[in-house]
Amino acid sequence: TNQAFNECQGFSVTVGTNTYTTSGIYTDVMNGCDTVITNLTINPPPTLTLIKVDDNCGGNTGSITALVTTTNPPVTYNWNTGDNDSVISNLPVGTYNLTINDASGCVNSDTINVLDLEIECDFFIFIPNVFTPNGDGQNDEFLIHLKGLKIINLEIYNRWGLKLFETSDISQGWDGRTNSGSEVSDGTYFYILNYKNNDKRQVENGTLTLLR
């Protein structure tokens, strides 16, 4: 009796009292008369190395390259993102898993984390301290300028701690009116700015002067 197996690493075949796990041709005599010849081929799994480029300042600039070696091409790629290529790019911070299969059906997988470099980020924040909402088209709004940062909200309070204005729209400045539309008088007011820098919540606060 002849039998042949072409399998992946981890496979074993038992003939009588013998178990075989490595490639080779094995001969066993069963019950003293029946000769069983086993031709066993064990294929090694494809090797897999993941090389990454981390994201930079939350800009979805990460990428991962899969380096694969196999004796049984071609290889199929199955990322947890749904991609099917050896390289994936435009990645945000996160955990990425790749499973590969070669033509013999052997499998390998690996996981890698794309991080945020949090260095050399091109960002700034400018907060003016005086504005003049008198309708002359010059400096009519208290407008905060951010680059590379994500605003959560801006709150304006009077000296007694009463909230007068709030917005989460970075393009919307404070024009000296409450959220209900009432004009406030000249004077000193307090702002609290909540924003994110590299997904870390931060707070800026201070005073501003309104002059009509």
Q: What is the pLDDT of residues 18-70, one digit of tens each?
A: 999 999 999 998 887 889 999 999 999 999 999 998 887 677 888 999 999 99
Question: One-letter amino acid identity for 145?
Answer: H
- Domains of the chain, CATH where assigned: 2-43 (no CATH), 47-114 (2.60.40), 124-210 (2.60.40)
pLDDT confidence band for 120 (50 / 70 / 90):
low
**Amino acid 118: pLDDT:** 64
Distance separating alpha carbons of residues 64 and 114, to the nearest angstrom = 8
User: In this model, does residue 96 exceed pLDDT 90?
Assistant: yes
Distance separating alpha carbons of residues 45 and 108, to the nearest angstrom = 6
pLDDT confidence band for 119 (50 / 70 / 90):
low
Best CA proximity match to 62, nearest among 37, 96, 19, 29: 96
Best CA proximity match to 44, nearest among 100, 104, 97: 104
Instruction: Please give the mean pLDDT across all residues of the chain.
Output: 89
* Cα dihedral 9→15→19→23 (10° resolution): -40
Is residue 150 within a helix (H) or strand (E), and if so which, with residue range?
A: strand 150-157
- pLDDT, tens only, 147-163: 777 788 999 999 898 99
**Amino acid 200: pLDDT:** 77
